C-alpha cells in the first residue's frame, strides 16, 4: 500500500492528452514539492518534473505538472508510442521522515 | 555528466548479508544528500534509506530499520548500503539516487532465496 495514491492505469490514442493524478496528505504533498518519474520497463526511473511543475533540461514541454493542496497532476499532450511507460509521483513525507512514492500509473498508448 | 553506478548485488540466502556500493561522478558528491530506493519485481518504488552530506542525519524505512546501514565516503565519492538479516521480501533492484531524487543509477539486483 503506497502512501501516495495513483490510478493504476490509463490509456489514450496517439496525439491525445492524458492526465495522471497523485493524491497524498498534509504531511507529504501538502507541505513539499512533487516530482514525477517515467520508467520504461527494464530501465531506471527518469526525472520528468520537479518542484511540482519544472522540467529538467531535455524533457519536452509536452510534459507538465501541477499541484493543488494535497494532490498533484502530470499532464502529457501529443501522446507518442514512446511515452508508453510507468509513471510515478514522489515527494518527501515530514511525518515518516522519508521519501514516498505513488504506486505507479501504467500508460498505454493505443 | 552525472553518473551513479551501483554494484554488489547478487544471490544470497535468507539471513545472509550483502553490501551495495554506489560510485558517483560528474558532480560534487559531498554537496548532496543521497538515498537508496528499491523496486521489487513487478512492483512500485520503495524508498529505503537517506543520508545527509556529512552523515549526521540518517533515516530508514521501517521495513529495513535495524537490519540495513547506510554510509558514505565523500573522499571516494561513494555511497554504501550494508544489508544484514536479509529476507525474501528484500528481493529487489536497488537504486542509489542523488539529492531530491533527480538522478538514479542503473540499479543492482538483490535476490534473497534459499
Does the pLDDT of residue B98 top 90, yes or no?
yes
Q: Do B101 and A98 touch (CB under 8 A)?
A: no
Residue B2 confidence (pLDDT): 96
Task: Tell me, rounded to whole angstroms, the distance of Cα A62 from its chain centroid.
Answer: 13
Q: Are B4 and B101 in contact (CB under 8 A)?
A: no
**Residue B104 pLDDT more than 90?**
yes
* CA neighbours closer than 13 Å in the CB half-sphere of residue A56: 13
Say which residues have a Cβ less than 8 Å from residue A109's Cβ, sequence separation at least 6.
A11, A12, A13, A14, A79, A80, A81, A83, A84
Task: Note which residues in 56-95 of chain B have CB less than 8 A from chain A.
Answer: 59-61, 95
Tell me which residues of chain A, numbers 10 to 69, contact chain B at a CB-CB cutoff of 8 Å: 33, 35, 37, 43-47, 50, 56
Specify the pLDDT at position A85. 97
pLDDT exceeds cutoff 90 at B4 = yes
Predicted local confidence at residue A1, as pLDDT: 83
User: CA of B24: how far to CAs of A79, B1, B6, B99, B103, in Å?
Assistant: 34, 10, 9, 12, 11
User: Each residue's pLDDT tens digit in chain A (110 positions)?
Assistant: 889 999 999 999 999 999 999 999 999 999 999 999 999 999 999 999 999 999 999 999 999 999 999 999 999 999 999 999 999 999 999 999 999 999 999 999 98
Q: Does B107 touch chain A (CB under 8 A)?
A: yes
CB contact at 8 A, B101 and B33 = no
The band of B100, judged by pLDDT with boundaries at 50, 70 and 90, is very high
- What are the tens digits of pLDDT across the range B38-75? 999 999 999 999 999 999 999 999 999 999 999 999 99
Pairwise CA distance, residues A18 & A99, whole Å: 26
d(CA B34, CA B52): 7
A101 touches chain B (CB under 8 A): yes
Amino acid at each position: 500500500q503506497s502512501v501516495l495514491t495513483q490510478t493504476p492505469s490509463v490509456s489514450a490514442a496517439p496525439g491525445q492528452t492524458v492526465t495522471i493524478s497523485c493524491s497524498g496528505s498534509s504531511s507529504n504533498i501538502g507541505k513539499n514539492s512533487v516530482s514525477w518519474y517515467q520508467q520504461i520497463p527494464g530501465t531506471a526511473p527518469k526525472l520528468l518534473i520537479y518542484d511540482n511543475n519544472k522540467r529538467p533540461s531535455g524533457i519536452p514541454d509536452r510534459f507538465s505538472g501541477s499541484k493543488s493542496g494535497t494532490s498533484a497532476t502530470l499532464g502529457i499532450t501529443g501522446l507518442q508510442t514512446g511515452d508508453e511507460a510507468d509513471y510515478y509521483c514522489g515527494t518527501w513525507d515530514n511525518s515518516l521522515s522519508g521519501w514516498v512514492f505513488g504506486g505507479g500509473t501504467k500508460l498505454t498508448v493505443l | 555528466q552525472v553518473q551513479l553506478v551501483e554494484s554488489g548485488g547478487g544471490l544470497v540466502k535468507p539471513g545472509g548479508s550483502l553490501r551495495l556500493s554506489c560510485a558517483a561522478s560528474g558532480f560534487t558528491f559531498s554537496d548532496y544528500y543521497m538515498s537508496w530506493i528499491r523496486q521489487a519485481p513487478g512492483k512500485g518504488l520503495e524508498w529505503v534509506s537517506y543520508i545527509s552530506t556529512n552523515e549526521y542525519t540518517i533515516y530508514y524505512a521501517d521495513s529495513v530499520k535495524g537490519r540495513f546501514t547506510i554510509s558514505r565516503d565523500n573522499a571516494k565519492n561513494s555511497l554504501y548500503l550494508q544489508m544484514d538479516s536479509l529476507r525474501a521480501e528484500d528481493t529487489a533492484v536497488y537504486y542509489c539516487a542523488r539529492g531530491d531524487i533527480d538522478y538514479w543509477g542503473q540499479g543492482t539486483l538483490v535476490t534473497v532465496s534459499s
